[in-house]
Amino acid sequence: MPDLLVPLYDLPGIQEQDGLWVGKPMPHQSPSVLSFIGDNFSNGWKAEASTAFGSVPPTLIVAVDRASGRLAGFCCWDCTAKGYLGPIGIYEGSRGRGVGKAVVLAALHSMREAGYGYAVIGDAGPVEFFQRICDARVIEGSEPGIYGNPIH
Ligand SMILES: CC(C)(COP(=O)(O)OP(=O)(O)OC[C@H]1O[C@@H](n2cnc3c(N)ncnc32)[C@H](O)[C@@H]1OP(=O)(O)O)[C@@H](O)C(=O)NCCC(=O)NCCS
């Protein structure tokens, strides 16, 4: 899949959602956040997300269902490579309710506040999702991009 480029100087505003907490976890919460990612997505994404906890605050946004206290999704930046957004994942039972949009926009606003002008979404799976929520544009000729090394 291609990489996408997202302009950060004209982002849509963030709308709070009833019943959903969206924000950065604290360092001592890294075990539960990383277990959530490993259990629901992949060890590769867990490894990428673990680098988010090398910064204080971490370069990662989570969404938590306030009623149950359970993690509903996450979005990282500066983990795959500097200036890259992702990985992003929403718990299967929480999809289709705006959680993905909420964590991605919160992460993009944090990148803007950190001084970036653009974000790259590497090897973007659901291209239309990103085009819809943050005006992402396909970077022509970006496959395999930074993912071309031979380690498996
Ligand atoms: C892709 C993913 C993050 C979307 O999360 P979500 O919480 O279901 O998405 P939202 O409910 O916030 O959707 C926001 C908008 O995008 C649309 N959308 C959601 N998933 C989409 C998809 N796969 N393709 C196109 N549009 C999509 C929704 O219809 C909604 O549109 P609307 O605002 O016009 O109503 C989620 O399905 C997921 O975790 N998938 C597996 C992991 C993955 O692919 N991560 C991305 C790796 S680059």
Give me the residue spans of the domains in the chain. 4-147
pLDDT score for 148: 87
Bond into 87 cis (ω within 30): yes
Q: Is residue 101 within 8 Å of 113, Cβ to Cβ?
A: no
pLDDT score for 152: 82
Mean pLDDT taken over the chain = 97
Query: Of all protein residues, whose CA lies closest to atom 7 belonging to ligand 1?
Result: 100
Q: Encoding tokens for residue 50?
A: 């673990």
The candidate with the shortest Cα–Cα distance to 65, out of 42, 97, 108, 113, is 97
For residue 9, give every residue at least 6 positions away whose Cβ sits within 8 Å of its Cβ, in sequence order, or none.
112, 117
pLDDT score for 25: 98
The candidate with the shortest Cα–Cα distance to 121, out of 94, 145, 98, is 145
Q: Is the CB of 12 under 6 A from ligand 1?
A: no
Report the atom number in ligand 1 closest to the C-alpha of 125: 48
Tell me the C-alpha distance between 77 and 108, whole Å: 8
Report the atom number in ligand 1 closest to the C-alpha of 128: 25
Q: Is residue 60 within 8 Å of 74, Cβ to Cβ?
A: yes
Q: Encoding tokens for residue 144?
A: 């395999």
Query: Of all protein residues, whose CA lies closest to atom 43 belonging to ligand 1?
Result: 89
Centre of ligand 1 to C-alpha 150, Å, is 30
Residue 20 amino acid letter: L
pTM > 0.95 = yes
Report the atom number in ligand 1 closest to the C-alpha of 90: 39
Q: Is residue 117 within 8 Å of 8, Cβ to Cβ?
A: yes
Would you say domain 4-147 falls under CATH 3.10.450.30?
no
Tell me the C-alpha distance between 27 and 51, whole Å: 11
Centre of ligand 1 to C-alpha 86, Å, is 14
Query: Of all protein residues, whose CA lies closest to atom 22 belonging to ligand 1?
Result: 129
Q: Is the CB of 122 under 6 A from ligand 1?
A: no
**Which strand (E) or helix (H) includes residue 21?**
strand 20-23
Tell me the C-alpha distance between 144 and 149, whole Å: 9
Span 95-118, pLDDT tens digits: 999 999 999 999 999 999 999 999
Span 66-89, pLDDT tens digits: 999 999 999 999 999 999 999 999
